[in-house]
Amino acid sequence: MSEQTAALPKPPSLALRMLRAIALLRESPVGLIGAAIIAFWTIVALFAPLLAPYDPNATISPMLYPGQTDGQGNTFLLGTDHLGRDILSRIIYGSQRVLMLAPLATFCAYIVGIPMGLAAGYLRGKWDTVLSFVTNVILSFPVLVLYVIIIATVGASAANILVAITFASAPGIMRIVRGLVLDLRNREYVAAAQTRGESSLFIMFVEILPNARGPIIVDACLRLGYVIITIGVLGFLGLGLPPPDPDWGGMINETRQLAMTFPHMAVYPCIAISSLVLGFNLLADGLREISLRD
């Protein structure tokens, strides 16, 4: 008997399956472009100390245009800001922050939103009524006001940005998951699990959730883009990460007074934010295209 079971082919390892999933992206040029942009920024973030020409917080020569060289012979590819810090280095180091914070915040939002959606969609009844009401209340607030209120109350820090984004995004995720579950709960394999007396938790997380993963992954990619924008906006409002550490949104905020004379100070961080958001949106489009094809 043990020989028979041993003779069976091993299921492919997780790493291999992920590689295969990435290989699928070849079929969607749009998705591939998105993945390339994200890969670019990830490499930049990982190797920031090697890539950045200067210390991001060092004051060298203020108000230089892109490509200018200062008295000591330092060349600044993207110029310097009003305090004389190298913009290129700040963007490179800033990518670290955003690529840490955005996925983490999105992940936290899903950790909260998914169980809410599962409970509302599968258990229905009172759970659905209460959870839907709560999410409707949160969603009816203007998001920006919500962020300002939360962060102004608890103070600006990485952890608090995480909390704020989770609080504001979880209701939307709950709604998406709830919609998916409302469809999936009528499948016969769910009925089969019910007839063998499985607990609701088992049915929600083992029988239903894995089958909702496709749309959830696509939504997560899109949402990551929005979260990056949000982090940028928070930085712009002065509610982002506390200075002097480089933050893309903060860079725009600090230099917007000078934007008429020194547009480069704000434009380059803007391009950085937009390109990353675009990357995630394109990836989401690509994933959706592939998932629809099968």
Partner 1 sequence: MASRANGAVDGAASDRSGETPVLECRDLCISYFTRAGEIPAVVDFNMTLYKGGSIGLVGESGCGKSTVAMAIMRYLGSNGGIVGGQILYQGRDMAELSEAELRRLRGGEIAMVYQEPMASLNPSLKVGRQLTEVPMQHEGLNEKQAWERAADLLGDVNLPDPKRLMDSYPHQISGGQQQRVVIAMALLTSPSLLLLDEPTTALDVTVEAGIIELIGQIAEKYDTSMVYISHNLGLILETCDRVNVMYSGEAVETGTVQEVFDHMRHPYTKGLFGCIPLPGADKKERPLVPIRGQLPLPHERPQGCNFGPRCDFFQAGRCDGDAIKMHEVADEPGHKVRCVRWNEIDWASYSPEGVGGGAIEPGERVLEVDGMRKYYEIADNSLSALIRGGRVKHVKANERIDMAAREAETVAIVGESGCGKSTFAKVLMGLETASDGTVNFNGNELAHKSVHERTPKQLGSLQMIFQNPFDTLNPSHSVGAQIARVIRKFGVETDKSKVDQRVMELLDLVKLPRDFARRRPRQLSGGQKQRIGIARAFAGRPSMVVADEPVSALDVSVAAAVTGLLTEIQQTYRTTLLFISHDLSLVRYMADRVVVMYLGHIVEQGTTDEVFAPPYHPYTEALLSAVPIADTSVQKKRIILEGTLPSVMNPPSGCVFHTRCPRKIGGICESEEPPVVEPHPGHRIACHIPLEELQQMEPVIVMTESDKQKAAEAGAKPEPEPGSAGRG
| Interface with partner 1 (CB under 8 A) | 1-2, 4-5, 8-9, 11, 187-189, 191-192, 194-198, 206-207, 210-211, 213
Cβ(31)–Cβ(293) under 8 Å? no
Identity of the residue, 17 or 82, whose beta carbon is nearer to partner 1 in the bound complex: 17
Report the distance separating Cα 180 and Cα 205, nearest Å.
13
Identity of the residue, 19 or 144, whose beta carbon is nearer to partner 1 in the bound complex: 19
Cβ(226)–Cβ(280) under 8 Å? no
Instruction: Name the minimum Å distance from CB 10 to partner 1.
Output: 8
Instruction: Name the minimum Å distance from CB 125 to partner 1.
Output: 13
Least Cα distance to 25 among 15, 36, 16 occurs for: 36
Report the distance separating Cα 251 and Cα 78, nearest Å.
13
Instruction: Name the minimum Å distance from CB 100 to partner 1.
Output: 31
β partners of residue 80: 86
Instruction: Name the minimum Å distance from CB 213 to partner 1.
Output: 8
3-state secondary structure of 2: helix
Rounded to 5 degrees, φ, ψ at 8 are -65, 145
Instruction: Name the minimum Å distance from CB 287 to partner 1.
Output: 17
Cβ(234)–Cβ(147) under 8 Å? yes
Identity of the residue, 8 or 260, whose beta carbon is nearer to partner 1 in the bound complex: 8
Identity of the residue, 129 or 194, whose beta carbon is nearer to partner 1 in the bound complex: 194
Identity of the residue, 87 or 209, whose beta carbon is nearer to partner 1 in the bound complex: 209
Instruction: Name the minimum Å distance from CB 11 to partner 1.
Output: 6
Least Cα distance to 232 among 189, 276, 263 occurs for: 276
Count of all residues that appear for the chain in the document: 294
Identity of the residue, 65 or 202, whose beta carbon is nearer to partner 1 in the bound complex: 202
Cβ(85)–Cβ(266) under 8 Å? no
Identity of the residue, 46 or 192, whose beta carbon is nearer to partner 1 in the bound complex: 192
Determine the residue type at 158: A
Least Cα distance to 119 among 107, 131, 111, 109 occurs for: 131
Instruction: Name the minimum Å distance from CB 187 to partner 1.
Output: 5
Report the distance separating Cα 52 and Cα 103, nearest Å.
23
* H-only helix segments in 47-124: 48-51, 87-118
Report the distance separating Cα 54 and Cα 89, nearest Å.
6
Instruction: Name the minimum Å distance from CB 177 to partner 1.
Output: 15
Identity of the residue, 123 or 146, whose beta carbon is nearer to partner 1 in the bound complex: 123
